[in-house]
Chains A and B, each alone.
Chain A
């Protein structure tokens, strides 16, 4: 009998440091599968963010650079501009990308850098212990919003995929989730497509992934998936926001 499920070549054997039930690991696997299927591992450079995924290079088996907090798209720009033959992707959290790194992501997209951005929206600062993120939901508790996010003081959560879709330069912008097996399968397709656009040198590509952080949400992994589906998905609608074909 043939093997039906195996570890992608682009994933190392290391055990991850992620908390039980955290979806970072799922997305790592999807990225690794896409890299394998496109056969680009030996030509790929990943950029690790500052956030829980800072050690992504321990798990995804290709060249990696580690950026400062929020600066991954600028670093990816530097690599891609001097080595357009390399496939360059960033993997960033919502604090990293939508707060401190807002300038870098918008401008990289607007220049149409031929890079791929995997954006993990877990509505919280995971690594530093559950502080409020720009993506935290109104009323959602965080260690810096103990009574829940007060939108009157801190504004409404930023919808990055929506915002990115307003950029006129052609690009691929999609929002996916990894809360259910069907969603994981769709997310995988989107991630692969995002890399394909880069391989074909077509455009900038951006995949927002609605994720969970059971630890800092103070929920079990199962409850986290449920909460994310009930609370995050109505506000962060899934689907393609922009494709280069429509431009």
Chain B
């Protein structure tokens, strides 16, 4: 298929349609409102459902309802909106429902700003809402991956019956890049007769289905948590995604970075190489499940003196990197916030300092 030039936010909207998701609910927020604008036009063309909800709180439950009824559904938002949706995310995860949430992250905390940031890593990977649950979190590094991951998000959400988050940032949402759309996703959500509230008349079994998260009996609630945990363990085994860059030879330093930040790091690594300095990059594409073993293996390589996590935050993913490297190598951090993005020159300067 030929490449088309598209803005990230619009490409994400189109990707959802190509993934067979014809249901979208959202509330406007910069820097991702173009997804809603695009889909408000496109979805009616393909017989889909578009609704602008009254708040992100309500949208979270529109998604929960639609997903509980067994239909493919997506919302997109940005950081403050995701905070409001976090209640619903906890309930959706607890009730084992598949749904896709896109977070085009902006700077925080509070109202923060509207420029790109990676400040929602903790929120996305460690909870956000209450209770023991996880989202499966995909982190694209550009418009092409945003498209691929949005489409893949539906398959993964349905595989695990768990909410999946595509976490980009304002840069990915706003920039235009050539993209090639993968083949349309032809599969239908499977097995929904076993659990979804799709109406008894459509099912063979005439027992009502129940989508719920309340378990007043402690043993039953423990059971539900164990079921969730089993899914997260399966994700760790089967769906970890990552990239290693310039990691075949002997590198002196391992840079951990993801999303937009990884593109700057890639440039810095190329520039360092031209100067004869070898730096490698570890880029998680799934932030949860985190590629634990892969970052460890890359860090413990003999030639590697240290690891540095470079982020558009004040240090969030670095905690996972430290956890996984288990003290085998020093783990450093550098980050900038609020829409400031560490430049290749800055990265080069820090790398040179660290490797002496």
Q: A residues near B, CB below 8 A?
A: 41-45, 47-48, 54-55, 57, 61-68, 71-72, 74-79, 81-83, 85-86, 103-104, 107
Contacts and interface: CB of A to CB of B under 8 A. Distances in A.
B210 interface: yes
Contact of A78 (B54, B64, B95): B64
A64 B58 contact: no
A103 B55 contact: yes
Contact of A75 (B65, B71, B199, B209): B65
A63 to B, nearest CB: 4
Given A78-B62, A81-B66, A82-B23, A66 B211 contact: yes
A71 B61 contact: yes
Most A CB contacts (10 A, CB to CB) among B62, B71, B213 go to B62
A104 B212 contact: no
A57 B208 contact: yes
Interface of B: 23, 25, 49, 51, 53-55, 57-69, 71, 73, 87-88, 91, 95, 197-201, 206, 208-214
A79 B66 contact: yes
Contacts of B87: 68
Instruction: Decide if the interface of chain B is mainly helix, strand, loop or mixed.
Output: mixed
A74 B66 contact: no
Given A57-B210, A57-B212, A63-B200, A68 B58 contact: no
A72 B211 CA distance: 13
Given A68-B91, A71-B58, A63 B23 contact: no
A68 B197 contact: no
A82 B211 contact: no
Contacts of A66: 95, 210-214
Contacts of B66: 78-79, 81-82
A137 B60 CA distance: 33
Given A81-B51, A83-B71, A83-B199, A74 B210 contact: no
Contacts of B53: 74, 77, 107
B209 A63 contact: yes
A130 to B, nearest CB: 20
Most B CB contacts (10 A, CB to CB) among A45, A78, A104 go to A78
Contacts of A74: 53, 57-62, 65
A55 to B, nearest CB: 8
Given A82-B66, A82-B71, A41 B200 contact: yes
A229 B231 CA distance: 53
Contacts of B209: 63-64
A107 B208 CA distance: 29
B61 A78 contact: yes
B69 A82 contact: yes
A45 B197 contact: yes
A68 B53 CA distance: 17
